[in-house]
Structure 1
Amino acid sequence: MSPRVCKACGCAEIDLDQARGNAVCTSCGSVLEDNIIVSEVQFVEGSGGVTSAVGQFVSSDGPEKAPLLGSGFHTSIGKESRAQTLQNGKRQIHQLGSQLQLNQHCLDTAFNFFKMVVSKQLTRGRKMAHVIAACLYMVCRTEGTPHMLLDLSDLLQVNVYILGKTFLLLSRELYINAPAIGEIKTHDH
């Protein structure tokens, strides 16, 4: 069987959640397949008399062995995918934000930006790391932290111009007025 590749971003890191019957790109959060059906099911008795279903998934890429379906097997309609995208985004924001030593307020604000990006479906076709970095940089600009886009570029080992392009697009689409670099927030009396 050939390895799965995301049609949206080209990433080969695909999370096949056999319990939910879906395949999700770990990079951009796109659902590649859902409602994966089972061709045959057998029931086996495990330790303590627990019965589990064992089957074989049938997908567009061909069969893939499913070790245990269990009682939690159900089809996904998209809410799980969005929730999973938000959960992964929050985790990545906290990881990258802690490396930048951002406070909890900044992390929460970045996550709010990320939720807006997801709700407007702006993650499609973009790498999740780039979107996360852009959301964090929006916070850095709006809160006036001393971080530069180059700091995020160095942490992620991504070209700064690619991150800049993502940042500009997302801030424009979300109508976020990010102050120019070097603008100091002062109150004249």
Structure 2
Amino acid sequence: MICSECGLVVGDRVIDVGSEWRTFSSEKSGVDPSRVGGPENPLLNGSDLTTMIGPGRGDASFDEFGMARYQNRRTMSSSDRALINAFKEINSMADRINLPRTIVDRANNLFKQVHDGRNLKGRSNDAIASACLYIACRQEGVPRTFKEICAVSKISKKEIGRCFKLILKALETSVDLITTGDFMSRFCSNLGLPNMVQRAATHIARKAVESDIVPGRSPISVAAAAIYMASQASDDKKSQKEIGDIAGVADVTIRQSYKLMYPHASKLFPEDFKFATPIEQLPVM
């Protein structure tokens, strides 16, 4: 294995773990000619050192009752089986919300650490897997809301939240606080809003938080209210229900945050914003 840039020899003996035979569909006769087994998985315990015994052919392979003398035992431990099922669940959840491979790998590693440490006894593996995916998203800088994880998992929001806190405590790790900017671009693109409205909404939300206009409000509800205010002042008007469906917050939550921000609207908008509807004509709650 050689670096194409500088010619450095990275490795002179590289083992190819791929199949050494090509099997064509017309040649399938029930005998698999490949001898290398499945791909290696470093997260499983010794998964690449198992041995499979092929079917016997001669008389010496069978006893006097015609039973195979050498049989494959169940080589996979219950621990590995639990890990594989959890990895499949994380993969399928990530597929449903289009998460990249890096997040899946981080979630798999988190699950493996929790499983090996036996920190969350009594909690279902599906709940732990969902919480690991939520933490992985936060740590990779692309957070998803609890409701978004809940929508692709079979677990309730409350149970995912409990597991989330227990995992952080058990692994002695932490996640960055979420801000309004983490969700803004995703929510605006899902609503089909132009770049100008997105920039205005980001500015409004940031100024509102900095000026302490919306104390105690979650970043998601502040972001939703900022999008509502920016869209109402532009040509691309969106209703509270449309924004609420995308952001996963109730109409009344958006109204409460908007009501706090409305009196300060004149100083929240960016200076270069082109108003289609003047501030005085914005909806009053």
TM-score, normalised via structure 2 length: 0.37
The correspondence for 2:117, drawn from 111, 117, 120, is 120
List 4+ stretches of structure 1 deviating above 6 A: none
Instruction: Show the counterpart of 1:98.
Output: 95
When the two structures are aligned, how many residues end up with a matched partner?
Answer: 118
Instruction: Show the counterpart of 1:182.
Output: 179
Structure 1 residue 72: Cα displacement: 2.4
The correspondence for 2:136, drawn from 135, 139, 144, is 139
Summarize deviations over 1:11-49 as a string: whole Å, max 9, x none: xxxxxxxxxxxxxxxxxxxxxxxxxxxxxxxxxxxxxxx
Secondary structure of the corresponding residue to residue 145 of structure 1: coil
Q: Which stretches in structure 2 are left out of the alignment for 5+ residues?
A: 1-64, 183-285
Summarize deviations over 1:159-184 as a string: whole Å, max 9, x none: 21111011111111111211112176
Instruction: Show the counterpart of 2:276.
Output: none
> Is it true that 1:107 corresponds to 2:123 in the alignment?
no
Identity value in percent = 24
**CA 114–157 in structure 1, closer or farther in 2 if over 3 Å, else same:** closer
TM-score, normalised via structure 1 length: 0.55
RMSD: 2.7
**CA 148–51 in structure 1, closer or farther in 2 if over 3 Å, else same:** farther
Q: Which has the higher strand share?
A: 1
The correspondence for 1:171, drawn from 163, 168, 177, is 168
Aligned partner of 2:138: which letter?
R
**CA 96–52 in structure 1, closer or farther in 2 if over 3 Å, else same:** farther
The correspondence for 1:87, drawn from 84, 87, 91, is 84
Conservation of the 8 A alpha-carbon contact between 1:109 and 1:139: yes
Paired with 2:85 and 2:78, the residues of 1 have a C-alpha distance of: 10
Secondary structure of the corresponding residue to residue 98 of structure 2: coil
Conservation of the 8 A alpha-carbon contact between 2:135 and 2:164: yes
Q: Which has the higher helix share?
A: 2
**CA 123–71 in structure 1, closer or farther in 2 if over 3 Å, else same:** farther
**CA 142–133 in structure 1, closer or farther in 2 if over 3 Å, else same:** same
Instruction: Show the counterpart of 1:72.
Output: 72
Aligned partner of 1:169: which letter?
L
The structure, 1 or 2, with the larger RCO (C-alpha pairs under 8 Å, 6+ apart) is: 1
**CA 143–184 in structure 1, closer or farther in 2 if over 3 Å, else same:** farther
Conservation of the 8 A alpha-carbon contact between 1:52 and 1:71: no
Larger Rg: 2
Instruction: Show the counterpart of 1:129.
Output: 126
Conservation of the 8 A alpha-carbon contact between 1:144 and 1:184: no
Conservation of the 8 A alpha-carbon contact between 1:93 and 1:111: yes
Q: Which stretches in structure 1 are left out of the alignment for 5+ residues?
A: 1-49, 54-69
